[in-house]
Structure formats: structure tokens, C-alpha cells
Structure 1
Amino acid sequence: MNKTMRFKMLLLIGLISFVGCKNSNKTNKTETISVSENTIDIDLQKQINDCINQLEIAVPKLTDLTKHPRLIDTDSTEWKQVNNHKLIWTSGFYPGVLWYAYNVTGNKRWKDEAIKRTEVFEDFKNITEHHDIGFMMFPAYGLGYQIGDKKEYKDILLTSAASLASRFNPKVGTIRSWSNKMHPRWQQHITIIDNMLNLELLFWAAKNGGDKKFYDIAVKHSETTMKNHFRDDLTSWHVLEYDSINGNILNRHTKQGYADDSRWSRGQAWGVYGYIMVYKETKDKKFLDFAKKITDKYLDLLPEDMVPAWDFDVQNDPKEEKDASAAAIVASALLDLSTLVEDKADQDRYYNAAVKMLKSLGSENYSAVGKADSFLLHSTGAKSLGHEIDVALIYADYYYIEALSRLKKLKAKK
């Protein structure tokens, strides 16, 4: 082979090697991008628009300010309204839905409607008969303060927090949930897993001019509940009855689950949302570690469509009703969790699970569009008590639109 031929051969080999390396690098880069952008596709704006269109239908029908929408029965299309009574825990969710409608659209119409629906129960700030004052006041006045810039709501929220804190028993280490008169099955200090959500009011108050003891009470309640309210398999009981004097556990029961020892799905959802929120407020890693454990347990128990049956212990029976409210609660919480964990794989895993839940909820299987005035169908409030079975529930809609709002915010940041 002469010098000219040898030079051409070397040049050809070098060119092949260069192209091969370039293609190899391109492939690796593409694979890296694929991993880092491993997210579930969702038409977020459509699902937001669906909610707003549903409000356009429902709001003109909901004109009685002494009542709020609670549920839509299986055989109905319009909201069943109940009185804004101090013992009805769901009154804050409808104004909360309206505040989020304003948040995702910027349309002042929804702000005006939210103000009108919020300010009808200012006197509820003095409720001390039960723990649900957090559920009642924070979605309404809390979001009004945060989203609507209604700074005049501050004193109402601080008074509400003081009312809630008055139910804390230091001998037990938790806030007392229900009154025994309302629930005579239990005679002493009752704490339910739902109570974790009410702690948000205390954390907010402690940061915004309220008594610093509000923070301490919220933390102590979280620690006591974390210690006593969960089984070895990381699922939650619904109701714990404590001795009011020495704090000993007397009973572990349920009110809305299938059985005392069954795994009520919305109860687990309250725990997931609650401990993610507690970590967000405290930055105490023990709460993050626990939140991840109970979240992973919840995810492990889910069916393929990511919406659980009303109790995990009956989930294998296809005749048992679903609870879309549990899915909405957890979807919203998971979006927060995806921003709080440091590991990239965990970030993607929780984010994708949340989006998959929302996509399922927005599908034909669960969406109320064209069927009823709510956002979602197929929630179950209390089958064990014989009511709110396979219905639309106002708090399912609330956590659903909250999740959509959080997802929109996250996508804007990205």
C-alpha cells in the first residue's frame, strides 16, 4: 500500500471513529434528558377549564348564603346544600374552591364570589366544641388572606387558632377532636387522624403574630399522633381514645372505615397530607422521613387507576365504592412532597404519582363534566354509617382544584 492509499485509509478510519463518538455522545445525552424529564403527560389547562366551566353552571344555583354545597347524591345532578352550622365541618371548602378558582384564572368574578361566601361565617372563629374549626376557617379565611390579599382576615384567623388551641390536652399531647356528646361511643379524650389537617391553622397563626405556643401544640400533636396512631405496617387507625388524665390509650377504633382494624383509605390520605404539611412548616427531618414512609405505604396499596376503594381492606371487591376524595387529597400533598425531598428519583416518583392521580380524576371515569355540577364523582364519605356512598363531595372538589393550582405553579417554575 503506497503512502497516498495509507493516508486515505487512516483518514477514513478517523472519520468513522469521530462520527461514532459523536453519535454515541448524542445517544447518551438523549437518554439523560429522557430520565430527567420522566413525567406523565397531562392536559392541565383542560382540567382547570373543566372546573371553571362546572362553576359557571353551579354558582348561579347556589344563592342561599346561609347554606353551602356538601354533596351530590348518586341519582342527582345538583348540589345538596346544608346549613352553615357550627357543627358542620364542611362549610369552608366551597369558599376555598372559589379562592382557588380565582388563583388559577385571575378572574375577579371568582374573588368577589369567594369573599361573599367566606364572610358569612365570621362568628365561627369562636368555635370550641370540636377540632374542625381548622377545616372550616382556613380554606376560606386562610386562602382569602393568602390568595385574595384580604389582610383584614388576620385577626379572624388568629382568634380561630386560639379557639382550636383551647382543645389541647397537655396530659395526652393532642388536640381533642370530637365531643363525647356528639360521639357517645367514647367517653374520654378522642383524637382522629383527620385532625392533622387542622394543624395548618396553628402553624400559620404562630408565623403571623399569634401565640408561639400554637407552634408547640401543633408539633406535640404531630409527635403524639405519629407515635400512637399508626400500625406497624404504617397504616392509620381512625379514632384513638385516650385517658384524659394520664394519656394512656384506651381504644383504637374507626367511625368511617370498614372495621376498627381496617385501613380506611381517606384516613391514610389525611395522614399523608398532614405529615407532609408538618414537615413543610417545621423542616424537622423526622416528619419528612415519616411522611415518606406512610406515603409509600399508601401508594403501594393503590389500584392501577390510582383511586382507592373507600377502605383498602375491601378493595379487592369490584362492587365496593371508590373514594375520589382520598385521591384528590393525596395528589395535592404529593405535589408538595415532590418539592421537599432532595433525591431526584424521589422528586420524579412523587410528582409522577400525583400527575397520574390527577389525570385519572380528570378522566371520563371520575369527571362530573356533563353528568353533575361538581368537579368529581365517586367519592364515599361514610359508608359504614350508611350515607354519602358513591357521591360527589365538596372537599373532593376542594383538594382537586388545590392540586391543579399547585401543579400549575410547579409547571410555571419549570
Structure 2
Amino acid sequence: MNRSRITIFLYTFCLGILCNNLSFAQESDFVTRSFQKASPLYDNLLAKTAGNFKDYPHSLYENGEIKYLQIDEWTGGFWPGALWYMYEFTKDEKWKTAALAWTNSLESNQYNTAHHDIGFMMYCSYGNALRFVKDESYPKILIQSAKSLCQRYSPVVGSIQSWNKRKSKGDINTWEYPVIMDNMMNLELLFYASKTSGDTSFRHVAIKHAEQTMKNHLRADYSSYHVVNYDPKTGKVLHKQTLQGFSDGSTWARGQAWGIYGFTTVYRETKDKRFLKTAMKMADYFIDNPNLPIDKIPFWDFNVGQAGFKPDWNYEAVKFKETPRDASAAAIASSGLLELSTFLKGKEKKKYFNAAVAMLRSLGSDKYLNVDQQNPYFLLKHSTGNLPSGREIDVPLIYADYYFLEALLRYQKIIK
């Protein structure tokens, strides 16, 4: 090889290294920027909530005041969980101190049997805490939490009851034994309890619930129903409906995201290919959907306003300038897709990873990230909680922040 060829080779080689380093730096900057933007917001939120371990930040009202939920409601675990993610990224002890205090405030919830959300409340808080502190009481608290969750399981139905018996939306019928897609997210707690205690009954309940959800919540195209109502005496499916979606036959975006994430988790714990296939097919519906906007942040429902989908509520009465997005659905889906990609190879791995990155880049853009502190407390903008009820439309939501931070950390671990 002559001198000129050697020079060209060395130049190309060094340029390649430089480009790779620049690419890595850009990826790292993307993650770092998001956490940096979160820091002053969460400082404000900590100051606002100082000493108050009864009210858990959830969202904002129209007047800019913080909307809190109480200890027994479903989103309490996301605030301490977000603080744990801040500590994981920054290693700043102030976040650990705050995370411990807010986590410990939830201890009494280990006995909560009023609804199915015990996994959200306790595993997002205590489950994250266990990764950073050794406290002998924490596994016991989580095992008791799993026992409380299992009190809502019926072997006749084969599912964990999400809500107590209630009238359906619009009082169309009675939900005798309602099970919602969101419930897939609580199964991770049961797998943890089974591994920690050695009691396989927790695992059995989780798998049976996932199987029934796979059987009854999914349509042929792997879109999902929000609510399936069962007869508690026979296990028969009585109704398939929605509470937070556009219509009973439509696909509520966050529900689809819960499914992607939840079935990926169940596959991780079981290595049962049925659950992997389900997670992939639900992911395909989400990311290949022709109604997914170009920035990959979904509208709150994939079928909103489309012909053939008729709501049983007054859609026209809900006022908004343009069809609301749901950043929380994108945050949840991106986190689930990143984990899903780690179980695959080749084109499939690349497809789900790239889709997740596209969502994260959009969420990290000025459109969705609270870069100018339009509100003083929350990181992500433009989420939708419950549009049919006229609540939480185009607002920040604490669980959007939680899953966004989780996804950023998962992303960082993969690219390293």
C-alpha cells in the first residue's frame, strides 16, 4: 500500500471514530438535556409538596394549580418513582432522600384491596427503591402488596378484577366484574413476589390474567378493548367497552401502550413466545398505524372521529382547538418498545428500537418537553387523561413523566 493510500485509509478510519464519538455524544446530550430540564421543575414540586405526604402530585388544573390524588388512588407511586429515576441518572443524594421519603409514605397501601392499581402504586415506588437501598422491610411490603392484589383475582374468571361492580359509562349497563387493559401493568409486582417469596401462586395468577387478557381484550388486528366485563359466577364475557376511549370499538392509545409494555414484561418473566408475539403485534398496530402522526405521538384514540366509530357520549360537547395528543401513551409505548427490542434480533429489533427512539426524540423536542417552564412542576406537556369525562385534556400527567424518564434510562443503557 503506497503512502497516499495509507493516508486516505488513516483519514477515513479516524473520521469514522470521530463520527461515532460525535454520534454517541449527541445521543448522550439528548438524554442529559431531558434530565436537566426536569431538575428545576422537580425542585419546585418538592418545595411545593414539602412535608405533605398525603397528597400526591398528579396533574394541573386549568388555573395552573396542582391536581393531587390521595394515597389510596392509582398514581401515588409515580412521583417517588420519578425521583428514583432522577437519582439513578444524576447520583445526587438530594433525589435519593426525597425518593425515600415519598416511597415510605406509601407503606400503608400494601393492604389496599379497593382496586387493581396496587402494582402502579407500590412497584413503581418500592420496586425502584430496592435497586438502590437495602431495607429488609421493602420485600415484605411488596409481598404483602401482591397478596392484596391477589384478593381481587377470581379463578372462575381467570382475571384480577380492576374496579368494583359499578355502572358503565352512560349507565348503559352494569359492569359486574370489569377488567381493563391497564391491569397488565400490575403483573410485574406478582412476578417479583413469586421470585422473592418462592410462592408460585403469585406467578400463576399473573400468567392466567395475561392469558385471559390476550384472549378477550384483543381484536384480530391486535388492537385492544379498554374494558371487558365478565359474569363473576360463570366467567362469561358480558360486554366489551371503553371508559376513556372514543368508542367501544375504537382503540384508546394509552390502552394499546399498556398492552405493549405489559405483555413485554410478561414475556421477560416467562419466556413464553405467545406473550412475545402479542407484544409485537400490539406494537405493530401502534407504530404502523396510518393514523399515527408523523412525529409519532398518538392522538388520544387511534380512531377518534372516524367513520364507523360512534361514541355513546357527547363528543361535540368537549371543547378543544385540535384533536388532543397523548404524550403519556408515547412515553409508555417507547419504554415498552425499548425493552421489547432487547428480546429480538435483526430487522425486528431495529424496527422497535427505532420507533421508540423516534417517539423519545419527539417527546424531547420543544413541542412536548417543558423547556420554557410553561408550568413550574411537570416535564412533559400534551397528555390526555380522560377525555370522555372532560378531565385532564392537554395537560401534564405525572405518569407521562415517569415513563419518559424510565424510557430515557433504558435507551441510555442500550446505546452504551
The aligned residue for residue 247 of structure 2 is 259
Q: Does 1:56 align with 2:43?
A: yes
**Identity %, equivalent residues:** 43
Alignment of 1:3-402 (within 5 A): 43-63=30-50, 64-76=52-64, 79-84=66-71, 86=72, 88-181=73-166, 185-301=173-289, 302-314=292-304, 319-341=322-344, 343-369=345-371, 370-372=373-375, 373-402=377-406
Could you tell me how far 1:272 is from its partner in structure 2? 0.6
Q: Distance in 1 between matches of 2:205 and 2:68?
A: 34
Distance 1:308 1:133 in 2: 27
Q: Is the radius of gyration larger for structure 1 or structure 2?
A: 1
Q: CA deviation at 1:221?
A: 0.6
TM-score normalised according to structure 2 size: 0.86
Task: Say if 2:331 and 2:360, in contact at 8 Å, map to a contact too.
Answer: yes
Q: Deviation at 1:248?
A: 1.1
Give the drift of 1:83: 2.4
2:309 is matched with none
Stretch moving more, 117-126 or 156-165: 117-126
Question: Any idea what SS the aligned residue of 2:394 has?
Answer: coil
> What SS is found at the alignment partner of 2:75?
coil
In structure 2, the partner of 1:407 is 411
**C-alpha root-mean-square deviation of aligned residues, in Å?**
2.6
Check conservation: 1:269, 1:326, Cα contact below 8 A. yes
Residue type matched to 1:262 in 2? S
> In 1, are the aligned partners of 2:379 and 2:401 still within 8 Å (CA)?
yes
CA contact (8 A) 2:167 2:175 kept: no
What is the number of residues matched between the two proteins?
383
| Structure 1 unaligned spans of 5+ | 1-13
Aligned-residue offset at 1:50: 1.4
| 1:344 CA drift (Å) | 1.8
Shift of 1:72: 1.6
Q: Which amino acid counterpart does residue 46 of structure 2 have in structure 1?
A: V
Q: State the SS of the aligned residue for 1:99.
A: helix
Unaligned runs of 5+ in 2: 307-319
- Tell me, yes or no, if the aligned pair for 1:98 and 1:113 is still in contact at 8 Å: yes
Distance, in Å, in 1 between the alignment partners of 2:86 and 2:135 is 16
Cα 1:168–1:326 shift into 2, 3 Å: same
Q: Distance between the aligned counterparts of 2:296 and 2:62, measured in 1?
A: 22
Structure 2 CA distance for partners of 1:289 and 1:353, relative to 1, 3 Å = same
CA distance in 1, matches of 2:349, 2:47: 41
Which string of whole-angstrom CA distances, capped at 9 and with x for unpartnered residues, describes residues 145-190 of structure 1?
1233434211000000011111111111111110014867534211
Say if 1:51 and 1:401, in contact at 8 Å, map to a contact too.
Answer: no
Asked if 2 retains the 8 angstrom alpha-carbon contact of 1:308 and 1:315, the reply is: no
Preserved CA contact (<8 Å) 2:381 2:396: yes
Deviation at 1:318, TM superposition (A): 8.0
CA distance in 1 between partners of 2:133 and 2:62 (Å): 34
Contact 2:166 2:174 in 1 (8 A): no
**Matched position secondary structure for 1:390:** strand
What SS class does the counterpart of residue 389 from structure 1 fall into?
A: strand
> What amino acid is aligned across from residue 216 of structure 1 in structure 2?
H
Letter of the structure 2 residue corresponding to residue 162 of structure 1: K
Which amino acid in the other structure matches residue 198 of structure 1? N
- What do residues 371-413 of structure 1 show as CA deviations (whole Å, max 9, x unaligned)? 11201011000000111111110111111111112122223xx
Contact 2:180 2:227 in 1 (8 A): yes
Q: What secondary structure, in the 3-state scheme, does the structure 1 residue paired with 2:106 have? A: helix
- 2:77 and 2:124 in contact (8 A); partners too: yes
Q: Is the 8 A contact 1:328 1:400 kept in 2?
A: yes
> Measured at CA, do residues 264 and 167 of structure 1 come closer, stay the same or move farther in structure 2, by a change above 3 Å?
same
Which amino acid counterpart does residue 34 of structure 2 have in structure 1?
Q
Q: Distance in 2 between matches of 1:366 and 1:132?
A: 27
Q: List, as ranges, runs of 4+ consecutive aligned residues in structure 1 with deviation greater than 6 Å.
A: 315-318
Q: Which moved more, 1:276-285 or 1:311-320?
A: 311-320
**What displacement does 1:58 show?**
2.1
Matched letter for residue 94 of structure 2: R
